[in-house]
Amino acid sequence: QVQVEESGGGAVQAGGSLTLTCTTSGLPFGKAMGWFRQRPGKEREEVSCIDWYGLTTYYADSVKGRFTISRDHAKNTLSLQMKEMKPDDKAMYFCAADLAILTRFVCQSSRDSTYWGKGTQVTVSS
């Protein structure tokens, strides 16, 4: 059984930095992972995704140049380094394992096979 758990959320001032970590267990070889977020009053959206080998990454336009995704197979972790944070980054951030589609331009979860964490809250004050 695949388990996914996020950590590292918290409160930060605009312009500050925060790193989220996702720890997984039981994830089969080759599966892509990603970070999604749900901002207040909006639907969940993809933020950044990465393939198994780290060769293909996706970033939403709103976070390009500010966020960096990475994964460590030795530790079974996925990280999201967030810099130059903005109040608009305030959201519940979710880790997703086993994505349906991943290219440089598209990151999409699967209703049937993607595993989700419970989320970690990020607040950015102006």
pLDDT band at 34 (very low <50, low <70, confident <90, very high): very high
Of the candidates 124, 119, 95, the residue with the CA atom closest to the CA atom of residue 109: 95
**What is residue 3's predicted lDDT score, i.e. its pLDDT?**
97
**What is residue 65's predicted lDDT score, i.e. its pLDDT?**
98
**What is residue 2's predicted lDDT score, i.e. its pLDDT?**
94
Other residues' Cβ atoms within 10 Å of the Cβ of residue 126: 9
Mean pLDDT of 48-74: 97
Mean pLDDT of 87-94: 98
pLDDT band at 59 (very low <50, low <70, confident <90, very high): very high
**What is residue 37's predicted lDDT score, i.e. its pLDDT?**
98
